[in-house]
Structure 1
Amino acid sequence: MQSSIRLKNSGGATGRRMKPNCNSDETQTIAVVGASARAAAFSLLRAGYKVVAADLFADVDLAGHCPVTRITDYPQGFVPWLAETVCDSWLYTGALENYPTLVDELATLRRLEGNSGEGLRRVRDPLDLQSVLHQAGFLFPQTITADDGLLRKGSWLGKTYQGSSGCGVGTSGKAPYYQQFVSGIPLSAVFQGCALQGVTRQLVGETCAGAAPFQYCGTISPWPISHEAQHYLQRLGTLLSEEYHLVGYYGVDLIAHEGQLWIIEINPRYTAAVEIVQQACEDVGSCFGKMILYAESPLTVEASMRDQCLSKSGCYSWPTMADIPAAGSQIAEGQPILTIFAKGESPVDVHLELQKKAEELRLQIHAGAISC
């Protein structure tokens, strides 16, 4: 599988070696908006685009490579920001797929490189998705809207479909939807349009990262799958492209259970897994991964922590650490602190290295003696 990507009107996303359209001598400027813009922005920068960004964090490593604005009125604050921003087009990251009306409003301001609100409404409707997938012969857990005490039985999950990275998923409390729980290995398939780009192992709820149950905390790629599974996913990409008109990069959350792939959810935009798939496509034979560290207790970022992390972060072509918060940032319990990266010969090697780095760094951060 290759990942040679370029932006196209209403359809491109970012990629391993995205090439700017060469209709003029000037490099295009792409605006990136979302909860976190860093990964997509770095992908675009590697491809030679100019980038401007707006997100919830305005992390210092991103600010060192492109203009970035911290949005406090999320997500409505993206409207005046994009209206005032000079750019050729824009794309979004998580969790703007949950705001289709806002996406359409932003698309009236600048050309959208991604999926419009119409497609988002359908593909993010689990009942619509369930019907389409079942009719096509794909595995999708039974999903309903009635509670009937299902959560107390322990085999169902409540899902809001209003968050990202596992937010809004749980085993207690009321929710708009309830999905039958499928045990197994969490994976993700990354597509561009109908084309499968790569398969990743998703890291979820890892204690060394300080992650909550069901909370996404990292990615490892490539993940080996059978030829049969690859054909299954390629057929899925064709279905999603034709039925929902999905374009650009998007992700599909999967569970590998007893030799079968269950489709859990569609994330119709640039996902956190994309940058790792890009690296795996670029350096064939190696394995890459990242892990997000979450705060176990409230944390104030000191200038010394910022400086130490930034000095060790590397460059955007392949960082060793990223999403570094600014000095003075107040990070609440359960919120992301930063992201670490690793490279190895196998998924097991990368996973062990990420766990080792996470344990060491987490202890140093919370002891106030960080040494990156």
Structure 2
Amino acid sequence: MTTRPTIAVVGASARAAAFSLLRAGFQAVTADLFADADLRRACPAERVTNYPHDLADYLARTECDGWIYTGALENYPDLVDQMAAMRPLRGNSGSVLRAIRNLLLLQATLKDVGLDFPETFACSGQSPGAGDWLHKTGLGASGSGVCEFDSLNLPTEGYWQRRISGVSCSAIYLASSQTCKLLGITRQLVGEQWTGARQFQYCGTIAPWELPSQAVAQLHRIGDVVSKEFELRDLFGVDFVFDGKVVWPVEVNPRTTAAVEAVERATESQLLCGKAILYAKYPLAISPTSSDRLLHRCGTLEHPRLADIPNAHAEVAPGEPMLTVLVDGVSVADVESKLRQQVAKLEIELYGCMTQ
């Protein structure tokens, strides 16, 4: 009998990637900030407190055939290299991370081949000038490290990037040394108040997202260029804004992303998939009854309805993620309506009253 390879998944949240591996026939072991109840039920899961540095200790004592990382470990390239020396890494090394997360280098690479990229330059304590600008630390994930221009706070580190009006989207790719395949295009839910998310904070995905053929062609070329020039391997994502005519890539996530499970589900079901992350609006202590009830309703590994179920006695502070909702639908309006309804019902259940 063939033994299924065991892959360790480490990062801020390991659940989505671990579930994808389990569905694909791998065994998974995980370490992240939550070790949520549904993840514990599906595979071994360990919660780390000294993130991300405890992940190296975890990997050193964990038997596995390889490992992958989720967000936001791409911001720690030295740690990734340290861990890659312990166990085989299925993903991008520290040298790749240093290059691809440099927005100036990414900008130059894309513009050199005629692709668009928002005007971006390094902060130096000066105003970026006229226009609508965003400050990016270059060290965030899921929208953290992004804020609007504030004339009273002129940073000396990070980047200024010109803000592009349009629809926030993402593209998911799978790259090897020879090819780069566009797996799916999604709309990103960002800063949606009904989820409790902060401004610029990623809070969900709708997949697939239809774009004109010209825009899809741009995305194919973007994937080919960045995978070749930066030697990206395996799964990666490109966040972009579509202004109705032009695809404006804004950054590359050089690892599996939160949108991947929505793309997988939509591809399998031939329906649209919606995913929404519910963030706490008030302090919340999860009772054993609430955790058990949510776990009972979460669905199956192959088709989850709720995910990232908090453990009994977990204390969730305002702004922290509470759980994830996944739905299927026949149209974008159908998916959006179902997500909003499910989130509203869950808030009533968890808080005991309707939140505003």
Range of TM-score over shorter length? over 0.9
* 2: CA distance, partners of 1:230 / 1:149: 35
Question: Match of 1:290?
Answer: 275
* 2: CA distance, partners of 1:231 / 1:176: 31
| Partner residue of 1:176 out of 148, 151, 158 | 158
**In 1, are the aligned partners of 2:184 and 2:263 still within 8 Å (CA)?**
yes
Structure 2 residue matching 1:362: 3-state secondary structure = helix
2:205 pairs with 1:228: no
Over 4 Å off, 4+ runs:
none
- Output one character per residue of 1:117-142: Cα deviation in whole Å (capped at 9) or x when no partner: 11110000001001001111111111
2:104 pairs with 1:127: yes
Question: Match of 1:254?
Answer: 240
Aligned residues: 345
| Greater Cα shift, 78-87 or 170-179 | 170-179
Question: Match of 1:187?
Answer: 169
* 2: CA distance, partners of 1:166 / 1:281: 26
* 2: CA distance, partners of 1:260 / 1:362: 38
Question: Match of 1:354?
Answer: 339
**In 1, are the aligned partners of 2:277 and 2:324 still within 8 Å (CA)?**
yes
- Output one character per residue of 1:200-230: Cα deviation in whole Å (capped at 9) or x when no partner: 0100011110011100000010111122222
* 1: CA distance, partners of 2:181 / 2:352: 46
Structure 1 residues without counterparts, runs of 5 or longer: 1-23
* 2: CA distance, partners of 1:348 / 1:122: 39
Structure 2 residue matching 1:333: 3-state secondary structure = coil
Structure 2 residue matching 1:179: 3-state secondary structure = strand
* 1: CA distance, partners of 2:333 / 2:236: 25
Structure 2 residues without counterparts, runs of 5 or longer: none
Question: Match of 1:19?
Answer: none
* 2: CA distance, partners of 1:213 / 1:155: 16
**In 2, are the aligned partners of 1:222 and 1:347 still within 8 Å (CA)?**
no
Question: Match of 1:144?
Answer: 121
Question: Match of 1:6?
Answer: none
| Partner residue of 1:301 out of 286, 303, 316 | 286
* 1: CA distance, partners of 2:345 / 2:268: 29
* 2: CA distance, partners of 1:225 / 1:335: 32
Identical columns (%): 46
* 1: CA distance, partners of 2:210 / 2:244: 15
Q: How does 1:1-372 map to 2 (within 5 A)?
A: 25-146=2-123, 147-150=125-128, 155-171=132-148, 172=150, 173=153, 174=155, 175-193=157-175, 194-284=180-270, 286-367=271-352
Question: Match of 1:4?
Answer: none
Q: Give the letter for the 2:309 counterpart.
A: I
Deviation at 1:341, TM superposition (A): 0.7
Deviation at 1:368, TM superposition (A): 7.1
Deviation at 1:363, TM superposition (A): 3.0
Deviation at 1:348, TM superposition (A): 2.1
Deviation at 1:148, TM superposition (A): 2.4
Q: Give the letter for the 2:174 counterpart.
A: Q
Structure 2 residue matching 1:111: 3-state secondary structure = coil
CA distance 1:319–1:239, change in 2 (3 Å) = same
- Output one character per residue of 1:173-204: Cα deviation in whole Å (capped at 9) or x when no partner: 43521111111100000000111000001000
**In 2, are the aligned partners of 1:209 and 1:362 still within 8 Å (CA)?**
no
TM-score computed with the length of structure 2 as normaliser = 0.94
**In 1, are the aligned partners of 2:347 and 2:353 still within 8 Å (CA)?**
no
